């Protein structure tokens, strides 16, 4: 049996951290206290004008390739999860493939599942590898969410940041991804969306991210609880067998509520929302990379990733590192 195992991780955030107080000084009617109490966010990183999602993805990918000890041309599948693609087409994955100098003609495509995007992308890559069609995938979550924020809407603009995270997922005789589950319910699309559309050479309608925060909160906690049980059951394990939970980094209170529901200690939950804010599809691989590099996540441990986001979409991947 062929498993898909993480060979290396990488992460990248652009520029210096921007504090909550920095946002106040930039004229946003908010406070450090409000943001920290409600979300746990203290800092985020914001890409400079001109920096594209593929630029952030490139840095994170180089670090993941280094960590895995492989060359760019050893990759035979590139998947980028993003909602802030460089352009309508080509895909950010194709642009990233070219920037990395991959010349072997491997498949490259984007996955759009907003904040669940990385979990979707990793699950897809695992299936390509387990089926035998591919040996080594580069799976990336990368975003410049600052481009779709309404900086006059204090209810959303303080929540998000830019960044990228990447993994090299490769075929192995040892596990590996143990189970995954993906879901969507498009009937909830109005509670979290960027509803603008492209027409007549410009964006028609509202180009910015809009959110009903309380509705998102309630739905996120429910589905994160359900999908954790579904995934652990599929692997024939119990939640007590998980060493680390890495939920989508949207809000510390969503993570705390999820951990309570799952009867997991917060000491076993990786939290980076305080320093990165919500980086959408990048949040989970960024948090994974932080915890691998600081030595918390060790080889052989069991890790569950949980994504939730616009669509509404949600999902989980359970793996042995
Ligand atoms: N600074 C100061 N005050 C603010 C801010 C701000 N940045 N934003 C809103 N307020 C004010 C509002 O105007 C309102 O004032 P009022 O009572 O005078 O009318 C008050 O704070 C309360 O506003 P609510 O929107 O009710 O605030 P709430 O307590 O619901 O917190 C939050 C908002 C943090 C967004 C919360 O709903 C939440 O955590 N939701 C989860 C959604 C989330 O994390 N989304 C991330 C993206 S989704 C995803 O990634 C899955």
CB burial of 32-48 (b: ≥16 within 10 Å; e: otherwise) equals eeebeeebbbbbbbbbe
Helices 53-68 and 283-293: angle between axes, nearest 10 degrees = 30
Distance (angstroms) between ligand 1 centre and the Cα of 254 equals: 13
Residue 20 predicted with pLDDT over 90: yes
Q: Using an 8 Å Cβ cutoff, are 79 and 93 in contact?
A: yes
Residue-wise pLDDT tens digits, 167-224: 999 999 999 999 999 999 999 999 999 999 988 788 899 999 999 999 999 999 999 9
- The protein residue whose alpha carbon is closest to atom 13 in ligand 1 is 155
Per-residue pLDDT, 198: 86
Q: Using an 8 Å Cβ cutoff, are 5 and 164 in contact?
A: no
Q: Are strands 210-211 and 302-309 parallel, antiparallel or unpaired?
A: unpaired
Per the listing, tokens 């041309």 go with 73
**Spatial separation of the C-alpha atoms in residues 238 and 127, rounded to whole Å:** 23
Residue-wise pLDDT tens digits, 287-305: 999 999 999 999 999 999 9
Closest among 300, 274, 299 to 287, alpha carbons compared: 274
Distance (angstroms) between ligand 1 centre and the Cα of 214 equals: 8
- The protein residue whose alpha carbon is closest to atom 23 in ligand 1 is 155
Which residues are known to be catalytic?
115, 248, 278
Q: Which domains does the chain have, with CATH numbers?
A: 3-174 (3.40.47.10), 178-320 (3.40.47.10)
Q: Using an 8 Å Cβ cutoff, are 238 and 229 in contact?
A: no
Ligand 1: lining residues by beta carbon, under 6 Å: 30, 34-35, 38-39, 115, 154-155, 158-159, 192, 211, 213-214, 216-217, 220, 248, 250-251, 253-254, 278, 308-309
Closest among 92, 108, 83, 121 to 315, alpha carbons compared: 121
**Spatial separation of the C-alpha atoms in residues 160 and 213, rounded to whole Å:** 13
Probe ligand 1: pick from 224, 251, 276, 306, max atoms within 8 Å of CB?
251
Residue-wise pLDDT tens digits, 117-148: 999 999 999 999 999 999 999 999 999 999 99
Per-residue pLDDT, 145: 97
Residue range 65-70: mean pLDDT, rounded: 98
Distance (angstroms) between ligand 1 centre and the Cα of 32 equals: 13
pLDDT range class, residue 29, cuts 50, 70, 90: very high
pLDDT range class, residue 161, cuts 50, 70, 90: very high
Distance (angstroms) between ligand 1 centre and the Cα of 265 equals: 26
- The protein residue whose alpha carbon is closest to atom 48 in ligand 1 is 309
**Spatial separation of the C-alpha atoms in residues 300 and 270, rounded to whole Å:** 17
Per-residue pLDDT, 202: 84
């Amino acid at each position: 049996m062929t498993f898909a195992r993480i060979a290396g991780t990488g992460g990248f955030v652009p520029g210096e951290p921007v504090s909550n107080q920095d946002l106040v000084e930039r004229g946003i009617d908010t406070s450090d206290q409000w943001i920290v109490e409600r979300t746990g966010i203290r800092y985020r990183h914001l890409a400079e004008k001109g920096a594209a999602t593929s630029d952030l993805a490139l840095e994170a990918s180089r670090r993941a390739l280094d960590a895995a000890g492989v060359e760019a041309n050893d990759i035979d599948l590139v998947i980028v999860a993003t909602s802030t693609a460089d352009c309508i087409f080509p895909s950010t994955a194709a642009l990233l493939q070219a920037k990395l100098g991959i010349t072997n003609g491997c498949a490259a495509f984007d996955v759009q599942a907003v904040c669940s995007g990385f979990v979707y992308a990793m699950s897809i890559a695992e299936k390509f590898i387990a089926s035998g069609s591919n040996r080594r995938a580069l799976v990336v979550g990368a975003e410049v969410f600052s481009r779709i924020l309404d900086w006059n809407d204090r209810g959303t603009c303080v929540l998000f940041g830019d960044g990228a995270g990447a993994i090299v997922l490769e075929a192995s005789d040892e596990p590996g991804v143990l189970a995954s589950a993906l879901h969507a319910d498009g009937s909830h699309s109005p509670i979290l969306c960027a509803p603008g559309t492209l027409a007549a050479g410009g964006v028609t309608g509202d180009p910015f991210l809009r959110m009903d925060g309380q509705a998102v909160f309630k739905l996120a906690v429910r589905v994160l609880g359900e999908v954790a049980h579904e995934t652990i059951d599929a692997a024939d394990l119990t939640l007590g067998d998980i060493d680390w939970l890495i939920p989508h980094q949207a809000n510390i209170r969503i993570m705390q509520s999820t951990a309570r529901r799952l009867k997991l200690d917060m000491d076993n939950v990786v939290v980076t929302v305080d320093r990165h804010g919500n980086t959408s599809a990048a949040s989970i691989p960024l948090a994974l990379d932080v915890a691998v590099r600081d030595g918390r996540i060790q080889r052989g441990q069991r890790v569950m990733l949980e994504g939730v986001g616009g669509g509404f979409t949600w999902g989980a991947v359970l793996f042995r590192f």
